[in-house]
Structures are given as structure tokens and as C-alpha cells.
Amino acid sequence: MTTVLLTGFEPFAGDATNPSGDAVRRVADHWEGPEQLVTAVLPVEFGGARHRLLELIATHDPDVVIATGLAGGRIGISVERVAINLMDARIPDNAGDQPVDVPSSPDGPAAHFATLPVKAITAAIADAGIPAAVSHSAGTFVCNHAMFTALDVNGSGHRRAGFIHVPFAAEHAPQGQPALPLADITEALRIALRTALDTDVDTSYAAGTIA
């Protein structure tokens, strides 16, 4: 049985909700398979998120891992291409930890590329009329750390893993911030899972940035 792991995050930085966790719960409510879907909402804690993610991967040995989180201020869905081996927290996490200039994994490589078909996923979401782009930075906070962690345990080879940042949900966005309806964020994550499961070789098209 093919197994997929989809995670979101709890609220952080004083927000009442986190659209990533809300959307993951909705995807779970409507999943029709045939693959087994495992979902979780991770704590916004460097140590706690890593621990929980490693536990989930060890327990379920998923074929596909898509972790998701909020990137407030971004205008669409960001399909992350790279996780860097660095924690540099501008604010404390929900446990009060604020690592600065510390590697995610002291013995790990400088970075890991997502092993998801990031361009096919981005194109499929955009084709559904939902704004989406390939992103080349997942930041240096808990989301980047979670993405790096998921890819750092990718040793078995069969697993595809990566990360998707979502914007604020329109239902809860702070005044003046870009946002998408939670239904669109949910649909984007469903499309991402479907595309990751159904795409053997990623498509290739220019998706870079000049700066």
C-alpha cells in the first residue's frame, strides 16, 4: 500500500490559526485514496517538529512526504525547492527556543533539494487557477528545519519529500496581507499530493528568478 504523509503546523507568532494545519485537516477529511494518507499538525518548535516528523516517518515509512507551513506575506502557493542546513530564528519558536546560526544537522550537507516533482506540482496547481510558484528559499525558521529533516532521512531512496508554503487564508488574514481562500489552499495541497503520486519524472521549464 502506498502511503503519503501530509503535515501542517500549529499557529505561531501570536496568530489564532495556521492555514497549513487547517488545510491539512480538510484534505484528510475528503481523501478518497486509493493511497493511505497520514496527516499530522506539527508543533512550531525546532526540537518538537523534528522529533514528531522523524517519529511519523519511522512509523509509517511513507512513499511521499509533503510538509506544509504558513509563509505570511507571500501571494500564492510556494513549492519549495531547497532546504538549507541552517537555523536562524528571527523570533522564538512556540517552546521559546531561538537558535541563531546553528545547523539543522551538524553532520549534514549544506542543503538538500526537494525530491518531489516541484515543477509539475507548481504547474498543476497553477492550471487549477490557484496562484503558485517554485520557491528557492524556505526561510531559516521551523519550516526550513522540518523540510531539511524530512530530506535528511531520505536515505532509503524510494521516498519523495518536500515542503509547500501557503499564504494566509482569506478567512483569517491580517488586514492588507495577501491571502487565498482556505478552500483553494486545501485544493492546492490535494493537487500537490496527487501530482507527487502520479508524476514519475518532473517536468522542466524555466521557473528561476534573477534575484
Residue with cell 537558535: 99
Active site residue 55: no
Q: Which is nearer to ligand PCA, 77 or 143 (CB)?
A: 143
CB of 25 to ligand PCA, least distance (A): 14
Rounded Cα–Cα distance for residues 122 and 135 (Å): 10
Under 8 Å CB-to-CB from 137, ≥6 apart: which residues? 80, 82, 84, 144
CB of 183 to ligand PCA, least distance (A): 19
Q: Which is nearer to ligand PCA, 120 or 169 (CB)?
A: 169
Q: Give me the catalytic one of 80, 112, 145, 187.
A: 80
Active site residue 143: yes
Q: Give me the catalytic one of 112, 145, 165, 187.
A: 165
Active site residue 165: yes
Name the grid cell of 200.
Answer: 514519475
Q: Which residues bind ligand PCA (CB under 6 A)?
A: 9, 12, 18, 20, 44, 69-71, 139, 141-143
Alpha helices for the chain (secondary structure H): 19-30, 46-60, 118-127, 142-152, 182-198
- Which residues does residue 135 pair with via DSSP β-bridges, in sequence order? 80
Q: Which residues are catalytic?
A: 80, 143, 165
